[in-house]
Amino acid sequence: MTGFPSPYTVAVIGAASGIGKATAQLLAQQGVDVVCMDRDAAGTEATAAAIRAAGGEASAHQIDVTDAAAQAPVWQAVLASRGQLHALLNCAGITGKTNLKAHQVDPANFVEVFQINLLGALLVSQAVLPHMLAHNYGRILHIASIAGKEGNAGMTAYSATKAGLIGMVKSMGKDYAETGITVNALAPAVIRTPMVDAMPEAQVTYMTDKIPMKRCGELSEAADLISWIVSPSCSFTTGFTFDLSGGRATY
Ligand SMILES: NC(=O)c1ccc[n+]([C@@H]2O[C@H](COP(=O)([O-])OP(=O)(O)OC[C@H]3O[C@@H](n4cnc5c(N)ncnc54)[C@H](O)[C@@H]3O)[C@@H](O)[C@H]2O)c1
């Protein structure tokens, strides 16, 4: 059963849009104090403002997950104001250019995808881990992808970085397994968000055709599962990649 003690603070990166935005709103409805973060300053402020307008607690902060130095003072201020940060949900991610075979991939675009999807995930984890270790409690959840488990044709950089993220989470889960900190990933198939809407239709059709349930996932289905994973109730699972793929991955 999902339940949050009070106070319970969750930082949601990627809160301006899609899965991060929907989950930030659900968490706030469940009584969580939400720290909304995104490189899109206006978008993250809009999410926090909507939460506050609905009676919830939220603040908004601009961060770029790839820039450790610029993030540091933001995290410092967040941790100082809250006292304890209980969970980190990292939804920052990009697909990069898709519908391309590997020989057509621009290495510069590959590096950009790597820096956000994988290096960024390490940097934001490093920003909160010393604090969580000091409190002997934490929930870290990174959003990976079915592409990282299976490899989506036409998505070399995305598939590679999400596979790397799954591997990183396996390792980090073991690093902190004897503390109160869990580190997990979630691997969705296709959920209609601005990220998916920006992809070539042929690429989206390729991905949705592979889902046995023959439909896309709903934002509420992602948010419900995420809210449980970042809650105290999800206490005996770490280093794991949760599935959200309508039956595409059964492992
Ligand atoms: N939507 C899907 O079908 C799907 C499927 C599998 C995995 N995912 C993953 O879920 C996560 C969320 O995706 P979404 O569909 O909600 O996408 P989205 O584009 O709607 O939201 C992603 C958010 O991340 C932010 N962001 C991007 N780069 C950033 C950076 N450097 N620093 C800080 N913020 C940054 C964007 O501004 C945006 O608000 C991503 O990691 C994505 O790869 C999504």
Question: How many angstroms is it from 213 CA to the middle of ligand 1?
Answer: 23
Closest residue (by CA) to atom 32 of ligand 1?
64
pLDDT of res. 2: 61
Q: Dump the DSSP string for 197-224.
A: HTS-HHHHHHHHHT-TTSSPBPHHHHHH
226 lines ligand 1 (CB under 6 A): no
Give dist(CA 209, CA 154) in Å, integer: 15
Q: H/E/C letters for each residue in 140-164? A: EEEECCHHHHHCCCCCHHHHHHHHH
Count of beta carbons in the 10 Å neighbourhood of residue 74: 16
pLDDT of res. 26: 98
Q: Quote helix, strand, coil % in the chain, to nearest 5.
A: 50, 15, 35
Tokens of 133: 């270790």
pTM, two decimal places? 0.98
Average pLDDT score over the chain: 97
94 lines ligand 1 (CB under 6 A): yes
Question: What 8-state DSSP symbol labels residue 32?
Answer: -
Closest residue (by CA) to atom 1 of ligand 1?
191
pLDDT of res. 3: 86
Low-confidence ranges of the chain (pLDDT < 50): none
Positions marked active-site: 158
Say whether 139 sits in a helix, a strand or coil.
Answer: strand
Q: What is the pLDDT of residues 119-132, one digit of tens each?
A: 999 999 999 999 99
Question: How many angstroms is it from 178 CA to the middle of ligand 1?
Answer: 30
Query: How far from 28 is each of 15, 158, 181, 193, 244, CA to CA, in Å?
Result: 12, 30, 22, 20, 22
Domain boundaries, given as residue ranges, for the chain: 9-244
CATH number belonging to the domain at 9-244, selected among 3.40.50.720, 3.90.180.10, 1.10.260.40, 1.20.950.20:
3.40.50.720
Question: How many angstroms is it from 108 CA to the middle of ligand 1?
Answer: 19
